[in-house]
């Protein structure tokens, strides 16, 4: 039994990706590798540009953008407001998927 568990771990761990976490409970191991491709801000879909011009993002400046090929595909936009930084994820229709604050 121990040999089976060891063999499984020996095969799976080198092929897994570990996402950064703030606590051990937040750690996620996924087998999906995500390709991040830089995108010029001017080349973002119009729906995302419109969303970024909305009231929710007033005062925020888009610094960088990436397209992430992860099955459905989405865009990650790095935003800055003063010393605050955040990464916001959008689908191609400008719908916010989630946000991550980076000013810890």
Q: Could you list the pLDDT tens digit for every one of the 104 residues in the chain? A: 444 444 444 444 444 444 444 434 443 445 556 789 999 999 999 999 999 999 999 999 999 999 999 888 999 999 999 999 999 999 999 999 975 555 43
Same-domain status, 54 and 89: yes
Residue 26's pLDDT is what? 41
Domain with 2, as residue range(s), is 1-33
Say if residue 26 is in the same domain as residue 75: no
Residues 26 and 45 placed together within one structural domain of the fold: no
pTM: 0.63
Per-residue pLDDT, 31: 54
Number of domains, the chain: 2
Helices assigned H by DSSP within the chain: 2-12, 46-52
How far is CA 68 from each of CA 38, 74, 100, rounded to the nearest angstrom? 9, 5, 15
CA angle 9, 14, 15 (to 5 degrees): 100
């Amino acid at each position: 039994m121990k040999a089976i568990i060891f063999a499984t771990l020996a095969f799976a761990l080198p092929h897994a990706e570990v996402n950064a976490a703030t606590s051990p409970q937040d750690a996620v191991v996924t087998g999906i590798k995500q390709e991040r491709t830089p995108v010029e801000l001017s080349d973002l879909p119009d729906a995302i540009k419109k969303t970024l011009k909305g009231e929710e993002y007033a005062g925020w400046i888009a610094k960088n953008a990436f397209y992430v090929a992860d099955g459905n595909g989405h865009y990650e936009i790095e935003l800055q407001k003063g010393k605050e930084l955040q990464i916001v994820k959008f689908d191609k229709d400008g719908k916010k998927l989630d946000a991550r604050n980076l000013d810890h």
